[in-house]
Amino acid sequence: MDQMDVTRVPTLDRDRLELDRPASSGLHGRLLLARLLLAFLPIDVGSRLRAVVLKRVGFQVGHGTLLAGLPAIAGPGDIYGRLSIGQSCFFNAGCFFDLHAEIVVGDYVSLGQQVMLLTWTAETGLPPRPVRIEAGVWLGARSIILPGVTVGRGAIVAAGAVVAEDVPPDTLVGGVPAGVIRLLDQAQS
């Protein structure tokens, strides 16, 4: 018999396994069950039911919150304690929440279609960073909130904006990257 060539024995590439881990740890049974239960509801039906189901599977969702479509939710490990949604919020269809770190959404917040709240970055060495959306904020359609950003109370983020820095309260921001367009009249907010 031939001798086994030990130089050809496969070895584990620990660095590669570590990079693949987040992708493989994103299967969340309770969230999958919620998706299955709500899959056949049209966008304009069941917005209260979606909020109740998210709450029942373990997320913190405030009273009176409405969801026009279940947001796509991703992240490793126990994601259920990393999302907190206040009362009387409205989330339009197609939103995406990256729960590698905590996302806190205050009361009376509105999210337009396909808003993305991101906590994880592919930049080497940077840990996931929480996102905070304070009370009374309006995030326009397809706006993107990047890791570590706080959007201040009563602020408005224009549609399509990419927010890389904190937004002061009562401010309208827009653009890529988002910049201050104007201060909002506090009497109207």
| CATH number of the domain to which 77 belongs | 2.160.10.10
At residue 114, the pLDDT reads: 96
At residue 123, the pLDDT reads: 72
Distances in Å between the alpha carbon of 12 and those of 6, 23, 24?
A: 14, 18, 17
At residue 54, the pLDDT reads: 87
Q: Tell me the residue range of the domain where 122 lies.
A: 26-183
Low-confidence ranges of the chain (pLDDT < 70): 1-31, 33-42, 45-46, 124, 186-189
Cα distance between residue 99 and residue 111, in whole Å: 17
At residue 3, the pLDDT reads: 56
Asked if residue 18 belongs to a domain, the reply is no
pLDDT digits (tens, 9 = 90+) for 134-155: 999 999 999 999 999 999 999 9
At residue 60, the pLDDT reads: 95
At residue 124, the pLDDT reads: 67
Asked if residue 3 belongs to a domain, the reply is no
Asked if residue 9 belongs to a domain, the reply is no
Asked if residue 97 belongs to a domain, the reply is yes
Asked if residue 16 belongs to a domain, the reply is no
At residue 48, the pLDDT reads: 87
Kindly provide the residue ranges of all beta strands, DSSP E only, lying in 35-170, ordered along the sequence.
60-61, 66-67, 72-74, 83-85, 90-91, 96-98, 103-105, 110-111, 116-117, 131-133, 138-139, 144-145, 150-151, 156-157, 162-163
Between strands 171-174 and 179-183, the pairing is: antiparallel
Whether pTM exceeds 0.85: no
At residue 189, the pLDDT reads: 46
Phi, psi of 110 (to 5 degrees): -120, 130
Cα distance between residue 95 and residue 86, in whole Å: 16
Task: Give the count of domains, the chain.
Answer: 1
